[in-house]
Amino acid sequence: MAETLGKSQGSDTIFPQSLIPQSPMPSYLFWLFSTIMLIGAVAVIAFRNPVSSALAMVTSFVGLAALFIGLSAFFVGVIQILVYSGAIMVLFLFIIMLLDLKDEKRRTESYLPLVAGLSLVGIFFVQLVGVLSNKLPNQIAPVLDKAALAAAAGDFKEGTKIHLALKDGHLPDVHLIGHTLFTEYNLPLQILGVLLLVATVGVVVLSKRQTN
């Protein structure tokens, strides 16, 4: 990976060479970030204090965003950090501090939820092993090298940013997502706008103090 990053391309590139890694994530990084993500997730459940849980969730989502970036989904990784670790987490902390919650008391009676939870996890694990023991196609991520990307450039109009970047051997992730979003997924996008409006109005109505 290092040698492909180091090569200088030409003066007509629109993306800096060093920003766009195209080869799949190395194994040790994958396991490092997966471990961070899973430990964060376990910590969300294990901590008694809700504020600690919220911070553990940030850790988990940062690991997840790193996995997204390793999968060449740069836009989704950035959105994960911005929306989850930024906005949603602040909202959670805000509500936790607003309600001034006490630490949850240790459970004394009733082991039924524990048994139910563990058996659910067991069922999922058995299913997971069943799925993973089957052979799936494309076990190794196809390499998005310069030749493959340059071949894909033909599908886009000459002179557009996507076309130029693909011809240079870069993956213009954000441009491609924008292109797909505003062509194939235009109607769902409009519906999403209406949904967000409804959610905004709903939140205002819900949090208004009842006067009667």
Residues 6-65 that bind other proteins (CB under 8 A): 24-27, 30-31, 34, 37-38, 41-42, 44-45, 50, 53-54, 57, 60-61, 64
CB of 11 to other proteins, least distance (A): 25
Fill in the DSSP letter of residue 206: H
30-40 per-residue burial string, b: 16 or more CB within 10 A, e: under 16: eeebeebbeeb
Q: Between residue 109 and residue 138, which ones bind other proteins under the rule CB under 8 A?
A: 113-114, 116-118, 120-121, 124-125, 128, 131-132, 136, 138
Cα–Cα distance for residue pair 22/176, rounded to 1 Å: 15
DSSP characters over 79-147: HIIIIIIIIIHHHHHHHHHHHTPPPPPPP-S--HHHHHHHHHHHHHHHHHHHHHHSPPS--SPPP--HH
Per-residue mark of binding to other proteins, 164-193 (x: CB under 8 A): -------x----xx--xx--xx--x---x-
Closest CA to 167 of 13, 6, 7: 13
- 3-class secondary structure, 50: helix
Q: Which of 149, 165, 167, 170 binds other proteins (CB under 8 A)?
A: 149
Q: Which of 1, 104, 186, 190 binds other proteins (CB under 8 A)?
A: 104
Part in contact with other proteins (CB under 8 A); list of ranges 2-10, 13-21, 72-80: 72-80
Cα–Cα distance for residue pair 175/187, rounded to 1 Å: 19
Part in contact with other proteins (CB under 8 A); list of ranges 2-10, 13-21, 101-109: 101-109
Part in contact with other proteins (CB under 8 A); list of ranges 2-10, 11-19, 108-116: 108-116
Q: Which of 98, 108, 157, 211 binds other proteins (CB under 8 A)?
A: 98
DSSP characters over 150-168: HHHGGGS-TTSHHHHHHHH
Residue closer to other proteins (CB basis): 19 or 206: 206
